[in-house]
Amino acid sequence: MDAAQASLIRLALDGYLRQSDERDARYRDLARQHSLLPVLPDWSGFVGLREDGALFWVSDDDGSVSSNLTQHITHLASLRGPELFPELGFLAPVPPSDWVACSSCGGSGKVVVDGQHVDDVRCQCGGLGRLPAAVARSLRADNL
Ligand SMILES: [Zn+2]
């Protein structure tokens, strides 16, 4: 992260902490406590982005913070973050040519069930249709 990017992350966190939606109150408290911007919220916690670009898992259960993230989660966070905070577009990966087609969606980026696109379910590739080879390998290993 350069200084401009760090300041964009700080501004995004400031803006997030000023929101008042009660449903997000718990995550807002955790975000404030740890100075981590929730870039990939989940039902059990969120992936938080620190000003220097480091990512951490923040558990909703006990409020603990861990830097132990899989490559897949890191990948999804880099896609979801700029969707939630458009000013963080620099986080989004530009797929290089050595990324491999997602085996789950066949490269379309869309989840298809019974021939129909399912818009509110996200493919494991995050919708890009391609994945870093290491992430694709780790997903294959998980599915064995
Ligand atoms: Zn996919």
Mean pLDDT by runs of 10 across the 144 residues of the chain is: 95 97 94 98 96 97 95 94 96 90 91 81 91 92 72
- Which protein residues have a CB closer than 5 Å to ligand 1 (ion)? 102, 104-105, 123, 125
The model carries a pTM of 0.88
Q: Is 70 left (phi over 0), alpha (psi -120 to 50) or beta?
A: beta
Q: Domain coordinates of the chain in residue numbers?
A: 3-91, 100-143
Written as one string, the DSSP assignment of 11-67 is HHHHHHHH---GGGHHHHHHHHHHT-EEEEEETTEEEEE-TTS-EEEEETTT--EE-
| 62 CA to centre of ligand 1 in angstroms | 32
pLDDT tens across 87-127, in order?
999 999 888 889 999 999 999 999 888 888 777 788 999 99
Find the 70 Cα to ligand 1 centroid distance in Å. Answer: 17
